[in-house]
A = this chain, B = another copy of it.
Amino acid sequence: MARMPSAERRRQLTEAAIRAMARDGVAKTTTRAIAAEAGVSLSVFHYCFDSKQALVESVITTITDHYVTLVKEALRPRATLEDTVRAGFQAYWDHVRTHPDEHMLTYELTQYALRQPGFEHLARRQHEMYGEAYTHLIEQLRAGRDLRLRVPVTVLARYLAAMTDGLTLNYLVLGDEAAWTGVLDTVTAHIASLVMADGPDAAPGPPPDRAPG
């Protein structure tokens, strides 16, 4: 086979591992399967990575970075505030629908990391970056307009990240796209109601939007 510097081989093996894991699941993706997917022999794998764990670490950091880039692209500011929220969800949603296996993989890797002693920080980093992506968006929106938030930025960002995560997993399990237009509209409206132009920032106290009685 063609010779190649170690760094590039590592990238090649990492990408192959992501493809194989997205297709077959983490549990079934052995080192042999990864080497075969990359078109190299098993020994090349162990020449580039000390262990399977070392490769998985590379996989998690790589896919987290991919994912965050995706979210940040999807969530760029648009003409109006509601457009931004709606178009952002739409772009993200299109990616979920067209690449369900990749998203599935992110959930599997989260749990792999949480169960593997010494890897917990990778799972935390993953979810912290989701929150940061949303925080970044909110800050952009605040800079462009004169926005006031009804809830603190950290709360809103975390809420958005958790909700996106939950909705995605729910879709991956249940499918049924038709049911989603309603849910997405509800969510979009809620977000818009939490981010308003021209009002005082919320004090860190009781929540807004109380229902009558």
Contact = CB atoms under 8 A, between A and B. Distances in A.
Interface of A: 24-25, 27-28, 80-82, 104, 107-108, 110-112, 114-115, 123-124, 126-128, 151-152, 154-156, 158-159, 161-167, 169-170, 172-174, 179, 182-183, 185-190, 192-198, 204, 206-213
B108 A104 contact: no
A111 to B, nearest CB: 5
A interface, over-half SS: helix
Nearest to A185: B207
A120 B153 CA distance: 38
A173 B126 contact: yes
A161 B183 CA distance: 11
Contacts of A197: 211-213
Nearest to A159: B183
B124 A114 contact: no
Contacts of A186: 151, 155-156, 159, 194, 207
A156 B185 CA distance: 11
Contact of A108 (B111, B159, B164, B208): B111
Contact of A190 (B27, B104, B190, B198): B190
A122 to B, nearest CB: 10
Contacts of A190: 190, 209
A170 B162 contact: yes
